[in-house]
């Protein structure tokens, strides 16, 4: 098994987005291997009810294949089909784009890029589940692009509502989207600890996205099972502060998990930005869903409430997505 996940890595600097990066790059990329992928992700949530929503579109352009859909749930779930709404299609053609590049999936999910890289309207309706989503996501920060110009995150304001079983759940909050293209994403297992992608926004002027593994010095639950060099713990990380994009000089984080040995419940991040400032972010996961994003991986997706001593009295919100593979799960998953 591989001990690296190359598609999560980032170089030191930043790349640059174009006004076409919302749209399908597809088979125009130099990578011609069948593992080359392209993805879109948007999230939505209503924190008072612990409603957490997750939209993911994943194509394999060189296979002409699309996997895509969404789920939405209240609180913590033990199985992804326990979500109040779960509707993904795994094997459909990637002919999901109209002449303007807008998206419509086989399950009816529609994404209209009203102003590319700035505003998108997303709608979906499922009468069988008495579920409806209608929202607009508008950029409040520029896209933060990896140095390879193949991936970005962007802080958006998500305004809209979910209707479920006759009740409306309106929301107006900050949510960080994700977009990638042109790189291979192998499906084999990895003999490594869990990899956690965490983001949060405290305001329209301050957000972060930090990904990596737990610090062995903090005695994570996998201590003694894996030997990961310190320079391999951080995969990709940035802080956006009032117009400045900052990389991190260092990162130390620890994840607490539920009694099942798998589900993340709390993240504590200590980091130093490239300008020398120290930050601590503490994330409490208030709603989560264990999604098998592909067969050899388990991704715990969760709405996360963030606090920080640097933002006393201010609550941030964001996402925790932790990927686990067979070797870790078989060692940590408690038997029934």
154, 186, 218 — which closes off a domain? 186
The C-alpha angle 237, 243, 244, rounded to 5 degrees, equals 45
Question: Residue 56 domain-assigned?
Answer: yes
Q: Are residues 180 and 202 in the same domain?
A: no
> Are 97 and 103 spatial neighbours (Cβ–Cβ below 8 Å)?
yes
Pair of tokens at residue 319 = 């996402």
How do residues 255-267 score in pLDDT, each as one tens digit? 999 999 999 999 9
Q: Which of 34-43, 52-61, 135-144, 326-335 has the lowest mean pLDDT?
A: 326-335
How many domains does the chain contain in total? 2
Query: Mapping DSSP to helix (H, G, I), strand (E, B) and coil, where does residue 13 land?
Result: coil
DSSP three-state, residue 119? strand
For residue 1, the model assigns a pLDDT of 38
- For residues 305 and 200, membership in a common domain is answered with yes
Average pLDDT for residues 96-105, to the nearest whole number? 98
Query: How far, in Å, CA of 265 to CA of 320, rounded?
Result: 10
Phi, psi of 289 (to 5 degrees): -145, 125
Does residue 171 share a domain with residue 122? yes
pLDDT attached to residue 273: 97
Average pLDDT over residues 143-150: 96
CATH code assigned at 281: 2.40.370
Q: How far apart are CA 50 and CA 315, in angstroms?
A: 15
Token pair of 107 as six digits: 């399950």
Given a cut of 50, whether residue 238 has pLDDT beyond it is yes
* Structural domain that includes position 268: 188-336
Cα gap 287→303, rounded to integer Å: 5
Q: Tokens at residue 193, please?
A: 């600890």
- pLDDT number for residue 2: 44
| Rounded Cα–Cα distance for residues 283 and 302 (Å) | 10
Distance CA 91, CA 104 (A): 15
Is the pLDDT score of 7 beyond 80? no
Q: What is the pLDDT of residue 245?
A: 98
144 and 221 in a single domain? The answer is no
Question: Do 296 and 156 belong together in one domain?
Answer: no
What value does the mean pLDDT of the chain take?
A: 96
Q: Assign residue 110 the CATH number of its domain.
A: 2.40.370.10
Using the predicted structure, report yes or no on whether residue 56 has a pLDDT greater than 90. yes
Asked whether residue 250 falls in the same domain as residue 126, the answer is: no
Q: Mean pLDDT, to the nearest integer, of 100-129?
A: 98
CA distance 324 to 271: 23
> What is the rounded average pLDDT of the residues 163-172?
98
Express each pLDDT in 152-161 by its tens digit. Answer: 999 999 999 9
Percent of the chain with pLDDT over 70: 99
Same domain, 218 and 147: no
Last residue of some domain: 123, 153, 186? 186
Verify that 112 and 168 share a domain, yes or no. yes
Between CA 302 and CA 264 the distance in angstroms is 8
Q: End of a domain among 186, 205, 226?
A: 186
266 and 132, same domain (yes or no)? no
* Residue 171 banded pLDDT, cuts 50, 70, 90: very high
């Amino acid at each position: 098994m591989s001990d690296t996940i190359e598609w999560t890595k980032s170089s030191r600097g930043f790349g640059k987005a174009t006004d076409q990066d919302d749209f399908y790059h597809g088979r125009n990329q130099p990578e011609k291997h069948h593992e080359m992928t392209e993805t879109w992700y948007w999230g939505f949530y209503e924190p008072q009810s612990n409603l957490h929503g997750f939209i993911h579109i994943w194509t394999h352009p060189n296979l002409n294949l699309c996997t895509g859909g969404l789920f939405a749930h209240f609180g913590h779930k033990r199985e992804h089909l326990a979500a109040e709404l779960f509707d993904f299609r795994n094997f459909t053609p990637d002919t999901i784009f109209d002449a303007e590049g807008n998206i419509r999936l086989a399950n009816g999910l529609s994404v209209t890029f009203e102003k590319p890289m700035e505003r998108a309207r997303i709608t979906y309706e499922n009468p069988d589940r008495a579920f409806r989503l209608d929202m607009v996501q508008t950029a409040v920060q520029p896209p933060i692009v990896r140095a390879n110009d193949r991936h970005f995150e962007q802080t958006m304001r998500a305004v809209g509502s979910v209707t479920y079983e006759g009740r409306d759940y309106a929301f107006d909050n900050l949510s960080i989207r994700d977009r990638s293209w042109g790189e291979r994403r192998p499906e084999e297992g990895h003999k490594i600890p869990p990899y956690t992608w965490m983001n949060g926004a405290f305001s329209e002027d301050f957000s972060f996205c930090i990904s990596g593994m737990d610090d062995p010095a903090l005695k994570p639950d996998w201590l003694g099972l894996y030997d990961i060099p310190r320079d391999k713990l951080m995969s990709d990380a940035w802080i956006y502060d009032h117009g400045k994009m900052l990389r991190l000089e260092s990162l130390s984080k620890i994840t607490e998990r539920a009694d099942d040995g798998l589900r993340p419940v709390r993240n504590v991040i200590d980091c130093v930005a490239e300008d020398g400032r120290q930050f601590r972010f503490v994330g409490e996961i208030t709603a989560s869903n264990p999604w098998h994003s592909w067969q050899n991986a388990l991704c715990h997706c969760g709405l996360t409430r963030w606090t920080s001593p640097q933002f006393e009295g201010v609550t941030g919100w964001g996402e925790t997505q932790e990927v686990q593979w067979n070797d870790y799960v078989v060692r940590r998953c408690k038997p029934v």
